[in-house]
């Protein structure tokens, strides 16, 4: 303190008190908008790719923000739960394959859901880079902003941009 008296640290509030206060704590509007934007991007990615890892990313984002799950996430979870319920009624010979099926982890074509998530994630990062550069940032500043927004390294943001920038700088034209 100003008079030289040491400041005593405040004890952390208990979980019980935190739960009582939770309904009265209003998140900052910018935080809510960022979460909405992120959930929308995850929903579009899930819709376009069929990759259920986008649903799980939404679950994690909502859990971290202590926010309710969107309807599209709940629909997926209910479908998965129904499939798991069926597995309980009739245990499969190959549980690993059955669990992957219940979670919609089996996609057609080459690559796993994990490899495909990396590909579509790179495109999302490149698109963020594009919009920041189009908005006036240079490549260096854009990579710093995007790395923070997407929780990736600056090198990853720049690598995604260099790999996919032609898609944004010279978009394909309709015939």
Please check the confidence at residue 18 and state whether its pLDDT lies above 60. Answer: no
pLDDT for 5 equals: 63
- What Cα–Cα distance (Å) separates residue 88 from each residue in 1, 52, 75? 62, 22, 20
pLDDT digits (tens, 9 = 90+) for 110-134: 667 776 665 667 777 888 888 888 8
pLDDT digits (tens, 9 = 90+) for 74-105: 999 999 999 989 988 988 998 888 888 899 88
pLDDT for 175 equals: 39
Mean pLDDT of the chain: 77
pLDDT for 33 equals: 65
Q: Model's pTM, two decimal places?
A: 0.54
Domain boundary assignment for the chain: 28-108, 109-175
Q: Which of 26, 25, 24, 44 is CA-nearest to residue 36? A: 44
Q: For residue 174, name the pLDDT band (cuts at 50, 70, 90).
A: very low
Contact call for residues 97 and 119 (beta carbons, < 8 A) = no
CA 37, CA 149: separation in Å to the nearest integer? 11
Q: Which of 116, 115, 127 is CA-nearest to residue 160? A: 127
Please give the share of the chain, as a percent, with pLDDT higher than 70: 70
CA 80, CA 51: separation in Å to the nearest integer? 14
pLDDT for 80 equals: 94
Q: Which of 64, 34, 28, 46 is CA-nearest to residue 145? A: 34
Please check the confidence at residue 155 and state whether its pLDDT lies above 50. Answer: yes
Phi then psi for residue 118, to 5 deg, are -60, -40
pLDDT for 82 equals: 94
Question: Taking residues 61-70, what's their average pLDDT?
Answer: 87
């Amino acid at each position: 303190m100003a008079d030289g008296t040491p400041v005593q640290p405040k004890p952390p509030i208990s979980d019980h008190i935190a739960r009582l206060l939770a309904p009265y704590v209003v998140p900052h509007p910018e935080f809510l908008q960022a979460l909405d934007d992120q959930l929308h991007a995850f929903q579009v990615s899930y819709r376009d790719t069929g990759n259920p890892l986008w649903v799980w990313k939404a679950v994690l984002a909502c859990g971290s923000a202590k926010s309710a799950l969107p309807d599209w996430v709940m629909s997926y979870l209910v479908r998965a739960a129904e499939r798991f319920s069926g597995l309980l009624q009739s245990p499969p010979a190959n549980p690993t394959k059955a669990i992957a099926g219940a979670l919609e982890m089996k996609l057609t074509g080459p690559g796993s859901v994990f490899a495909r998530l990396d590909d579509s994630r790179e495109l999302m990062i490149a698109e963020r880079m594009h919009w920041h550069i189009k908005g006036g940032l240079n490549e260096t500043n854009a990579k710093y902003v995007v790395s923070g927004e997407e929780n990736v390294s600056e090198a990853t943001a720049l690598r995604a941009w260099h790999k996919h920038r032609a898609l944004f700088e010279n978009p394909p034209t309709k015939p």
